[in-house]
Structure 1
Amino acid sequence: MMDLRVELTKNPKEKPQGNLGFGKYFTDHMFVMDYSPENGWYNAAIVPFGPIEVSPACMCLHYGQEVFEGMKAYRNSEGGVQLFRPEENFKRLNVSNDRMCIPKFDEAFLLDALMKLVEIDQEWVPREEGASLYIRPFIIGTEPSLGAHSSTHFKFLIIMSPSGAYYETGLAPVKIYVETKYVRAVTGGTGFAKTAGNYAASMKAQDVAAEEGYSQVLWLDGVERKYVEEVGAMNVFFKLGDEIVTPALDGSILSGITRKSVVDILKSWGMNVQERMLSIDELVQAYKDGKLEEAWGTGTAAVISPIGELKYGDLVMEINQNQIGPISQKLYDTLTGIQWGKIEDTFGWVKKVD
């Protein structure tokens, strides 16, 4: 295993107070590591946060060869700091690497490096209720070339940002617009990878939904425009009578860490959870039959985002009287309870920082 060099800042920044927002402030340090064909992954270091130098011909700027992850560090009830399933994020990042022609890295080494980085900057982990330290690992292709091929050189970075509570006014249901014109991903494409291009491709539909007064887009499959896939940057669940359905991971949907955790929790409660194809027609029929009882999105940022309204064409479907449902609330309380150390972690998901 390679060595990890540590260079501490001589000019620590003043920590922000009050409304943190999301992704506005950055901690004193970051992790950096380089890749070349001759050396493999090398030169791993924790250094003061600051600009990096890349060529204007850097390939990620021209052909989008980039992958990233999102995770959080939490201040637990004892005042310590802990992470939630970070090994799953690094495992998924290597899956994205494989799809985007980026060399895989040693997941155990990166986990140790991340723990060291969080330990160094642990005073940046907010103590306010609901706030956390957002962690963004990412890899970019850095070869200076305009040739349309995969890069030969890469840079791996981890930056961290103290962020406020996602729900400032409570766990309010969101309004979702079912997208029928634009396509986010197809099986065989990059939909299952966490790569920048997927998010760029979704922005037009997101803007259209916002103009209609909706906060998120529910994507349908890119071939038949028939099967439900995911919501914006979140996976999605529906309670249809006594069955809870989330779309199956068919190669065009991101394998969410929160999604995986929710499935495990629901099964531990003895609930009937199905990962399967779900058509928009089945969803509409369930609504008309009074069986669409709850819906929610899952993701790192929001954890659980209850859905109060779905708009499909001219049909507006109000779900649970536009109120958060009992399962959504219980899932949110359970997941955040584990993440913030307020309830016992019986799944072994929490990793405490020394």
Structure 2
Amino acid sequence: MAQLFTPFTLRGITFKNRLVVSPMCQYSAEDGFTNDWHFVHLGSRAVGGASLIILEATAVSPEGRITPDDIGIWKEEHVPGLRRIADFLKEHACVPGIQLAHAGRKASHASPWKGGEVVPATEGGWETVAPSAVPFTEAEPAPQELSLAGVQQVVDDFRTAAQRTLDAGFEVIELHGAHGYLLHEFLSPLSNKRQDQYGGSFENRIRLLVEVVEATRTVWPEHLPLFVRISATDWTEGGWTAEESVALATILKDKGVDLIDCSTGGNVPAAQIPVGPSYQVPFAEQVKRETGLPTGAVGLITSPEQAEEIVASGQADLVLLARESLRNPYFPLRAAHKLGADVAWPDQYERAKPRKHH
């Protein structure tokens, strides 16, 4: 039996297989509202057989958006549109998840196909916030250093967003602590130069993420899983390291986190990253091996055989597909056929299901 198509249970939720649609920004929202694009994009991947779909980085505050086109959950009015998506996913045996995020100093940029540059306030942009007034690149304006009250506001925003996530019917939350966004900016000494209780030592740099996890768990029910995505390394001298990722995961395990989604990089523009197939998988393997916490692997995973190997060899428990899922929404159905696993197809598509010929 293909290990990729065995069920996996965390708390009260069982995923029918190990293939997950990774959060991927669509930059297609207005004022944070989901629309038909998001519904069709996500719905087609549920129909395509994924066991869990994690919605793109969903901003917990307006200033937490990467671009003015990001989806959000900072107001009650966002909930019905999100619920429509969650309901459809559940109807198709797919667990609905959401990635709660704050972009920190990487906020207020134009969407990629609009040039990706900083959006000035005069054109609908806003002042960004960060642990310290250190810009992402020298060409960009410095962010505003968060006051202690501002840090507390971030924790409150994540807690409120978690409550809305529950109201919208989602069953997994992933907290975005990766890719150089706000929570990662606090973790890394390259972006966190604070002198207070949120900067300096390892314990201080992880404090905000730990507080966000604790706040989320106060409203997120016991029977629902909580994931955290981290960048397991900054790939840069003096930055966040794989060893720190293991130490962080050990602490998060005791705080009610169920899975670490291991990505890398994103916090410094000039990092030397050895990109290649499965290049991030060793980090998922290390965290799993050294902490006993389940992990998700992501990054240039493009074939059924590659995904199967990751799960079968115990390197990770879930495989998250991003670009491969954009290329092929039905990847799980095709992978099952290729690996000889018999999985249910949607009734409407059953007549197209490949059959073994004898």
* Structure with a larger share of its residues in strand: 1
TM-score (norm 2): 0.26
TM-score (norm 1): 0.26
User: Counting helix residues as a fraction of each chain, which structure ranks higher?
Assistant: 2
